A = this chain, B = another copy of it.
Amino acid sequence: MNNNWDAIVVGGGVIGNAAAYYLQKSGRNVLLLEKGTVGLGASKAAAGMLGAQVELTEVGPMFELARESRKMFPRLQEELKEMCGIDIELVREGMLKVAKTDEEKVHLQSVIEAQRSFGENTKWLDREETLQMESSLSDSIIGAMDIPNDGHVNPIQLTQAFSKSAVALGATVKEFVEVYSFTELSGKITGVHTNIGDFYGENIVVANGAWSARLLKEANINLPTYPVKGECMSVITERPLIKSTIFSQRCYVVPKSGNRLIIGATSIPNSFSEHVSVEGISSLMQASIDILPDIQRAQFERAWAGIRPQTIDELPFLGVHPTIENVFICTGHYRNGILLSPISGKLIADMMDGRTLPSYLQAFTFERLKGVITT
């Protein structure tokens, strides 16, 4: 076994695999270690929304990061398909963020204005226009923010595609390997201790989501993150019900191929449990029926949960360790992991290459929380 890697990535979710892919592509010999099986944590529990505009209602660094990442998908789809044969099922049919109250309407209209000033394509639709676009929507809605450029992918396929493409390029992926702590030599971190022995690498990327904080303690950082359980369900309709993704205050409904709708997601902080609660499913059913009454007659397929990593200021960590120059941290993507995976992976590779980085990246370093992060 080759045991001297250019980069060791800890975590086999969408973020870790994206990092592995871009690192291997940039010429490094990469080892990815995953404690369970690839893509079966938060990544599988996503609906795969690329909701740059729908999720981020404030213009700022996070919005820039999201826009950059969203842009990458069309080429990425071709690239990954070419590399490993997996289709990430990119759909670019837009989103509608519906309002049911005047308060919501006023809020959405201000968001529209802000995003437009920023050059984004979005506009307000009144009830009639909204129903014209999506006739299955409940007529209790009073209008919607129209976001033609947001879309979605298949999150499981995306994670697999990053992973298998990295492997096709020469990376090694090991499942059922748990990273416990770091190996050190003369004060320098040289690799990782795992349940099957030590692995040595020039650089370490910590990308194991809600489990990153635990590992980073071993590198003297108290990362202010916490797990947030999200529950989802899927249903199947007889005929296509919607073309756009529908987003309300209480849920979202994403139209996948095969007349499958993914309905998500609850948010239960501080839980690592992957059990699905009656309460969660029941509330998703009611919230989705409330905007799309025909869901009532749909076939229930299944329900599942995943644990997303959230940070105290709701921004991901994307940068080098404050004091250890060969440890990179890439976590805290919460609901935006799928959307942000290409840019996150790419920026990690760029950092390692010593390239000039976009200025907005400052917002995602550790310096922003200097007083908070104890090292």
Taking Cβ atoms with an 8 Å cutoff, the residues of A that contact B are: 84-87, 89, 91, 160, 164, 167-168, 173, 175-178, 180, 195-196, 211, 214, 227, 235, 238-240, 256-259, 270-282, 285-286, 289, 295-300, 303
Contacts of A299 in B (CB 8 A): 275-278
| Interchain CA distance A87-B78 in the complex, whole Å | 13
Q: Least Cβ distance of A369 to chain B in Å?
A: 21
Given A85-B91, A196-B272, A239-B167: A278 in contact with B297 (beta carbons within 8 A) = yes
Answer whether A258 and B296 are a contact pair too, CB < 8 Å, given A196-B272, A271-B196, A273-B176: no
Do residues B275 and A164 form an inter-chain contact, with CB atoms below 8 A? no
Complex contacts, A270 vs chain B, CB 8 Å: 196
Other contacts beyond A164-B259, A278-B300: 14, CB < 8 A = A85-B89, A85-B256, A87-B89, A167-B240, A168-B240, A176-B273, A177-B272, A180-B214, A195-B211, A195-B214, A195-B272, A277-B297, A279-B296, A281-B285
Residues of B within 8 A of A259 (CB): 164, 167
Instruction: List residues of chain B with CB within 8 A of the CB of A279.
Output: 296-297
A300 vs B231: C-alpha distance in the bound complex, in angstroms?
Answer: 11
Instruction: Report how far A178 CA is from B86 CA in the complex, Å.
Output: 34
Asked if A86 and B281 make an inter-chain contact with CB atoms under 8 angstroms apart, the answer reads no
Q: Shortest Cβ distance from A202 into chain B, in angstroms?
A: 23
Q: Which residues of B contact A275 (CB under 8 A)?
A: 175-176, 299-300
A222, chain B: closest CB distance, angstroms: 13
Q: For A167, what are the chain B residues with a Cβ–Cβ distance below 8 Å?
A: 238-240, 259
**Smallest CB-CB separation from A211: which chain B residue?**
B195
CA of A177 to CA of B235, assembled, Å: 21
Contacts of A173 on B, CB cut-off 8 Å? 238
Q: What residues of B have a CB within 8 angstroms of the CB of A280 in the complex?
A: 300
Cα distance A106–B282 in the bound complex, in angstroms: 32
Selected A-B contacts with CB under 8 Å, 25 pairs: A85-B89, A85-B91, A85-B256, A85-B257, A87-B87, A167-B238, A168-B240, A176-B271, A176-B272, A176-B273, A180-B214, A195-B214, A195-B227, A195-B272, A196-B270, A196-B272, A235-B278, A277-B296, A277-B298, A277-B299, A278-B296, A278-B300, A281-B281, A281-B300, A282-B286
Interchain CB contact under 8 A, A85 and B258: yes
- Kindly state the separation between the CA atoms of A178 and B271 in the bound complex, as whole angstroms: 12
CB of A273 within 8 A of CB of B175, answer yes
Chain B residue, CB-CB nearest to A259: B164
